[in-house]
Amino acid sequence: EKVNLIGRPDLLILPATQFGPLVGEASGTFPELCWLNPWTPLISEEGLRRLSPFGLDLKCVPTQIAFPAGLRYLEPSLRALGRLADGMKCVCSVCQRQRGRMPDRLRLELDTPTPDLFRVANFPTLIVATERFVALAAEHDIRGFVACEIESIQPSR
């Protein structure tokens, strides 16, 4: 709770959060966008370099993961914005995460412009990309994710 007081409200600091770079060793082949687990994306330096000229709002931090052939991957620092509009009524008093199944129909409450890649505040394992990110990734052959459309609505007051 004390750490959350000094952090920004759009940065999630969940229970069991570990600080510092991701560390480890990887084997195999990897696309430009790969996943350490279903909620932790990594992007190759090459992939980020190809997308950078287009002004994507994507802040990344280095990892200390040893990839084959000297490849280097970065971890995007994803802000928590918006909320899923339906379902999940049980809220954690510490992290504000709502427990439950993700609704079949995704409706995202947003009242501010968003970066090109972000987490959903009440379902932080769900990562949302803007149409612009998806289009640029496809145009520059950045693979490693599946995109589906999400309805965006104004928050209920």
- Who has greater pLDDT, 142 or 124? 142
pTM: 0.77
* Residue count (the chain): 157
Tokens of 13: 């600091």
Interval 121-134 mean pLDDT: 88
- When divided into structural domains, the chain yields a total of 1
What's the rounded Cα separation, in Å, for the pair 123 and 120? Answer: 5
13 band by pLDDT with thresholds 50, 70 and 90: low
Asked if 147 and 132 count as a contact pair (C-beta separation under 8 A), the reply is no
pLDDT at 10: 60
Average pLDDT, rounded, for the chain: 82
Say if strands 23-25 and 64-66 run parallel, antiparallel, or are unpaired. parallel
The DSSP element (H or E) to which 23 belongs, if any, is strand 23-25
Expressed as residue numbers, the domain containing 80 is 2-153
Question: pLDDT for 68-124, tens place per residue?
Answer: 989 999 999 998 888 888 655 556 665 556 666 667 788 888 887 788 999 888 888
* Residue 19 amino acid letter: F
Strand partners for 23:
64
Q: Residue 138: what pLDDT?
A: 93
